[in-house]
Amino acid sequence: MQLCDLTAHEIVERLRRGETSAEAVLDSVLARIAQVEGRAPRTAPYPPSAEEQAEDRRHVHAYISLQAERARERARSIDQARARDEALGPLAGVPLAVKDIFCVEGTPSTAASRMLEHFVAPYSATSVTRLEAAGAVVLGKVNLDEFTYGSSNESSAFQPPVGNPWDPSRVPGGSSGGSAAAVAAGEAVLSIGTDTAGSIRQPAAFCGVVGLKPTYGRVSRYGLIAFASSIDCVGPLTRDVTDSALMLGAMAGADPQDGTAASVPVPDYQAELEAGVRGMRIGLSPDYFRIQYPDAKTGELREQEIDPQVKAAVLDAAQRLAGAGAEIVENVPMPNTRYGIPAYFVVARVEAASNLHRYDGVKYGHRTARPMADLRAMYRASRGEAFGVQPKLRILMGMYVSAAQYEKHYYQRALRVRTLIRGDFEAAFDPAGLHRLDALLAATTPTTAFELGALYGDSVLMQYADLLTVPADHAGVPALSIPAGLDRGGMPIGIQFMARDFDEARLFRLGRAYEMSTAAEAWRSARPKVLGGG
């Protein structure tokens, strides 16, 4: 076990006791990056050759850009503060990878798109500023699907694609795939990501790390390059639940720069982390086990069971929590779960199209080098050259379903279906209702990580990778994905808890209780393949 494999709370403890330094921790992470990262992703055509691609599929390729010198200055200043006996922040000296969808002042902030390949952010996102104020050391920016549009990281303009540390020929998930992979491989201790349909939880599940989608409005979105503004949530990817709680505590809360950052007090998430689950009512829903999604071969929608190994992990977790004193409530109806993806196809596209109109080649971002007769031709050429196919697909669908003559049929209907999805959660959590749940327990993903190239290109199958995560995004409720074992192929399985608005503290208690009940399991000590495991 090296310093880079420790959790944030262990690192801070050692730092406080004077057993290590922030610079030693940084050196350990940089050495790990040199060991597993492989060549740096670029926007050049990919793959260069079959041999190089085969070589790439043994590495992680999590980072788009590293800011090692900036990180070293920060680490040194933390060590100097400690030498002067100054109080250390809750994340002092902890290396942090930032999904390259956040602005960090003075660093390239690309959104994994050619459109912003040379953009240098003039200010920092509130969430990143707060993590730095808590002592976190920003290492660099990690890869993602272009503008977050995908569930596998393969749509990034920066290739080679991120490989899953547990098997680099498989996807890390997406869109926060670089974040999840970096944390899983010890290339960072913490990462900050975003979740719009499952973009924190799905990669967390695929890479065997903890991912939290907080309540919509819990964390400021200021400085986040926008996708779907009514759904985007900023949250942590970490090695354990304690770190997730630490990181949310450092980021959450109102922000004068974001009118949707709710003015709800931020509790001390650490205080009740190990308060247990006795008396909690935890629901299981058949609508998260058996669900309508496209057949992998024919593409036809049909009722299918999720992967039995993933289902078994959910049921095992329920048993363990029951053993710890929770009450398991079965057969909770969540009948609108199946409409999550169809509604998302409409709502998210309309918002994406709207948010992408700002990229016009005038104020920043890519402009065509070809001479253009007029402004409109320049817009078309610049956007055509710099957007990949996934942004283009979202813009076009967004234009269609929000057009005046179709809007009532598509967009208005999808927003009403969103009300029904929210209604499922309100009924399940209603303290005076039939089920009176404190949390809902489900699989995070219907399968474990799939192979690179298996789904990419089929935008429908790719979107359905999010079918179990997207309902919480529509509803705005918080959801925590935690590792729950490995499948027969040695790939991580993720399970998730969903709770009432702003009840993240309960999610952490549940996650921590599950961690304690599985501490002795063999899979807890398994290592990703890139670190010699598997």
Partner 1 sequence: MNEEITAELFAHLVELAALELQESEAAYLRGQLNKQLEIIHELEAIDLPEDTPITSHGVPYSPAISPPPREDAARPYPGPERILAQAPQSEDGYYRVPDIPHTDLA
> Contacts with partner 1 in 259-318 (CB under 8 A)?
259-264, 294, 299, 301
With respect to partner 1, which residue has the nearer C-beta, 158 or 379?
A: 379
Q: How far apart are CA 40 and CA 330, in angstroms?
A: 48
For residue 150, state whether it binds partner 1 (rule: CB under 8 A): no
- In 3D space, the residue among 520, 530, 527, 514 whose CA is nearest the CA of residue 240 turns out to be 514
Token pair, residue 530, equals 């890139």
Instruction: Tell me the three state secondary structure of residue 224.
Output: strand
Q: How far is the CB of 524 from partner 1 (least distance, A)?
A: 34
Q: How far is the CB of 224 from partner 1 (least distance, A)?
A: 15
Contact at 8 Å (CB) between 463 and 455? no
Instruction: Tell me the three state secondary structure of residue 243.
Output: helix
Beta strands in 105-189 (DSSP E): 137-142
Token pair, residue 326, equals 């929770």
* Sign of the alpha-carbon dihedral angle for 352, 229, 364, 71: negative
For residue 326, state whether it binds partner 1 (rule: CB under 8 A): no
Q: How far is the CB of 396 from partner 1 (least distance, A)?
A: 5
How many angstroms separate the most distant Cα atoms in the chain?
Answer: 72
Which residue among the candidates 21, 28, 65, 99 is catalytic per the annotation? 99
Site residues for partner 1, window 469-508 (CB under 8 A)? Answer: 473-477, 501
Applying CB under 8 A, among 24, 31, 254, 324 the residue interacting with partner 1 is: 254
* Sign of the alpha-carbon dihedral angle for 198, 502, 241, 429: negative
Site residues for partner 1, window 440-459 (CB under 8 A)? Answer: 458-459
List % helix, strand, coil for the chain (3-state, nearest 5).
Answer: 40, 15, 45
Site residues for partner 1, window 214-233 (CB under 8 A)? Answer: 215-217, 230-231
For residue 375, state whether it binds partner 1 (rule: CB under 8 A): yes
For residue 397, state whether it binds partner 1 (rule: CB under 8 A): yes
Locus of tokens 């050049």: 44
For residue 366, state whether it binds partner 1 (rule: CB under 8 A): yes
Q: How far apart, in Å, are the Cα atoms of 74 and each of 6, 124, 201?
A: 19, 16, 29
Q: How far is the CB of 474 from partner 1 (least distance, A)?
A: 6
Catalytic-residue membership of 175: yes
Token pair, residue 465, equals 């990778």
Applying CB under 8 A, among 96, 162, 343, 442 the residue interacting with partner 1 is: 343
Which residue among the candidates 65, 113, 176, 199 is catalytic per the annotation? 199
Q: Which stretch binds partner 1 (CB under 8 A): 8-16, 128-136, 389-397, 521-529?
A: 389-397
Q: Which stretch binds partner 1 (CB under 8 A): 145-153, 176-184, 357-365, 516-524?
A: 357-365
For residue 362, state whether it binds partner 1 (rule: CB under 8 A): yes
Catalytic-residue membership of 191: no
Instruction: Tell me the three state secondary structure of residue 98.
Output: strand
What's phi and psi for 2, nearest 5 deg? -105, 170
Site string for partner 1, 108-147 (x = CB under 8 A): -----------xx-x-------------------------
Applying CB under 8 A, among 147, 227, 288, 410 the residue interacting with partner 1 is: 410
Catalytic-residue membership of 152: no
Number of residues this chain uses to bind partner 1 (CB under 8 A): 82
Q: How far apart are CA 190 and CA 186, in angstroms?
A: 9
With respect to partner 1, which residue has the nearer C-beta, 84 or 408?
A: 408
Q: How far apart are CA 319 and CA 309, in angstroms?
A: 15
Q: Which residues are catalytic?
A: 99, 175, 199
